[in-house]
Structure 1
Amino acid sequence: MSQSNQASRRGVMTAGFGLAAVAAASVDATAQAAAQKPAASKGAGKDRAGSGFVTTQDGVQIFYKDWGPKDAQPIVFHHGWPLSADDWDAQMLFFLGQGYRVIAHDRRGHGRSTQSDTGNEMDTYAADVIALADHLDLKNAFHVGHSTGGGEAIHYAARAKPGRVGKVVLIGAVPPIMVKSAKNPGGLPIEVFEGFRTALAANRAQFYKEIPAGPFYGFNRAGAKVSQGLIDNWWRQGMEGGAKAHYDCVKAFSETDFTDDLKTVDVPVFLMHGEDDQIVPIADSALLGIKLLKKGKLKTYPGLPHGMASTHPEIVNADLLAFFKA
């Protein structure tokens, strides 16, 4: 490997940025979901949904999955950059089996949603979720966001109509803010994120192979059990979205300040963060965010990576379920 390629790979491994992934369900999670399938089979016919699109005020079509009885407790999953609703397979199957109504959407410019060249910032992302919640008439929904999706979830919760949000979970999430500044000295330099945009524009396909093969799932750690399936699925989801939207989203996840959102939200918020998260370092995210929440709970996970919801779904799902039932 050339020195330039080595430097490029080191840059990918050490940089922190808002992503999200739950690329594929583990064998244990799939078995659990299959065993609990009858619990999710209630409400056939008109009480069942499936998938569809909601059109926003600016004409963008947002794709969503909506599984389970419409009168069941809804859980809305928010994916991160540059992925899609498919990131949440392990959680969607598990909680469907538990009798919940599970919903996941593709953020604008991502997955099957419109490849928008405008509106790729947090205020519009939150407005899109408002449109989705109105379209599905969601009440007291639990919102779960990973990485960039965590920023979107808390940004939405701070703006949601009364009665729409019951609880929020942020997994390896970007709040309060990622980029380094005088107010956030522990953040990552702006040059890191400029590097992501440069790499994306130069060779997005290659860039999207290096991220999951390295720091996202912790596969660059000694002794890591590498899953080629997770790597391939991450790449598949990323390449399905639009390059312009992904390029713009780098600014959205790195430079948006969620401090006021964290302070505003008055429903229970559960922060879950891997202590070996190489993408969104815990010291400048969850450990700061917990101090800003009115009703916050924090749990950290020794040795777990950024993409822990797919590498360790049995742990994540169990803790989510306990929080939802509390």
Structure 2
Amino acid sequence: MGYYVTVELGVKLYVEDINPEGSKTIVFLHGWPLNNKQFEYQFDVLPAMGYRCIGIDWRGFGKSDKPMSGYNYNRLADDIRTVVDVLQLDNFTLVGHSTGGAIAIRYMSRYNGYGVSKLVLADAAAPIGFTKETANNFLKETLNDRPKMMQDVTDGFFFQYITKPFSDWFFLLGLQAAGWSTAAIIITLRDEKLYADLQKILVSTLIVHGVHDKVIPFAQAQELNQKIKNSQLVPFHYSGHGPFWEERDKFNQLLRQFIG
């Protein structure tokens, strides 16, 4: 079922809550500039295996409200904490993909991993996000021709072949965001760093990363693995930036094994 959670006066986040009666809870944080529907191929499988899957659209993206402000890691992590409190979540696995991984890292640091028993970072945009050159190019396109920017994102996202219908669907996910929030996150990815946060992550952490990732280099996953205690890195050899789709069977099985 889907519902809204108020995280700030006048700001509600859309939450997709699948199998609320599940015995173990997984909270999914999507990547930029997408929304929780990117995890469709996890939501198709994991709830049927007894997991409660919660997908959160960050502010500015998907079906959530789109205020003009609040697009830094602290505020985005605060939003997640509010959802956790309102839903009274505890002992859950937090899964963050790309920028969602960066938000997850800030949540772990800012709130001492409140409620989180295990952490999964999938092609996380950390400890840095975009280079200045990449960010400035994306920013220029976003402010002048956002559909072209989203097409460029789609074209560079996957290593494996995607069909035209799938490409069209993925493209439209990104356009559900507001232009201003899309641009604001680019600036956050350019300017904010997460080095100081990594040492504060104490829970068991699974790092998965496509070795062919053109968005966030595989070397960054190796750096995360070195700096996060009690972490393990699993390379996805047939994936770019989207192992949750490109090697979805392996991704889902690994999640199940890791969560237990």
TM-score range, shorter chain: over 0.9
Which stretches of structure 1, 4 residues or longer, exceed 6 Å deviation after superposition?
Answer: none
**Which residue of structure 2 aligns with residue 178 of structure 1?**
129
Find the partner of 2:203 among 262, 267, 274.
Answer: 267
**Amino acid in structure 1 at the alignment position of 2:147:** A
**Structure 1: distance between partners of 2:28 and 2:20:** 17
1:141-200 Cα shifts (integer Å, max 9, x gaps): 100111011111111122336651100000111111135xxxxxxxx3x12211110011
Using a 3 Å threshold, how does the CA distance of structure 1 residues 292 and 162 change in structure 2: closer, same or farther?
A: closer
Give the aligned length: 260
SS at match of 2:46: helix
The answer as to 2:54 corresponding to 1:118 is: no
**Which residue of structure 2 aligns with residue 205 of structure 1?**
147
**Structure 1: distance between partners of 2:182 and 2:161:** 29
SS at match of 2:145: helix
**Which residue of structure 1 aligns with residue 238 of structure 2?**
303
Which ranges in structure 1 are unaligned for 5 or more consecutive residues? Answer: 1-49, 180-187, 219-223
**Which residue of structure 2 aligns with residue 108 of structure 1?**
59
Matched ranges for 1:10-49 at <5 A: none
Find the partner of 2:182 among 239, 246, 252.
Answer: 246
Using a 3 Å threshold, how does the CA distance of structure 1 residues 163 and 199 change in structure 2: closer, same or farther?
A: closer
**TM-score computed with the length of structure 2 as normaliser:** 0.95
**Structure 2: distance between partners of 1:84 and 1:68:** 19
**Structure 2: distance between partners of 1:94 and 1:262:** 31
**Structure 1: distance between partners of 2:231 and 2:206:** 6
Using a 3 Å threshold, how does the CA distance of structure 1 residues 294 and 227 change in structure 2: closer, same or farther?
A: same
**Structure 1: distance between partners of 2:94 and 2:189:** 18
- Larger Cα Rg: Structure 1 or Structure 2? 1
**Structure 2: distance between partners of 1:296 and 1:304:** 21
Q: CA RMSD in A?
A: 1.5
Find the partner of 1:168 among 94, 97, 119.
Answer: 119
**Structure 2: distance between partners of 1:256 and 1:163:** 22
**Structure 2: distance between partners of 1:98 and 1:286:** 29
**Amino acid in structure 1 at the alignment position of 2:150:** Y
**Which residue of structure 2 aligns with residue 215 of structure 1?**
156
**TM-score computed with the length of structure 1 as normaliser:** 0.77
Deviation of 1:226 (Å): 2.7
Hey, which of these two has a bigger chunk of strand by percent? 2
1:6-46 Cα shifts (integer Å, max 9, x gaps): xxxxxxxxxxxxxxxxxxxxxxxxxxxxxxxxxxxxxxxxx
Deviation of 1:229 (Å): 2.7
Using a 3 Å threshold, how does the CA distance of structure 1 residues 254 and 318 change in structure 2: closer, same or farther?
A: farther
**Structure 2: distance between partners of 1:101 and 1:303:** 28
SS at match of 2:8: coil
Deviation of 1:319 (Å): 1.0
Deviation of 1:57 (Å): 2.5
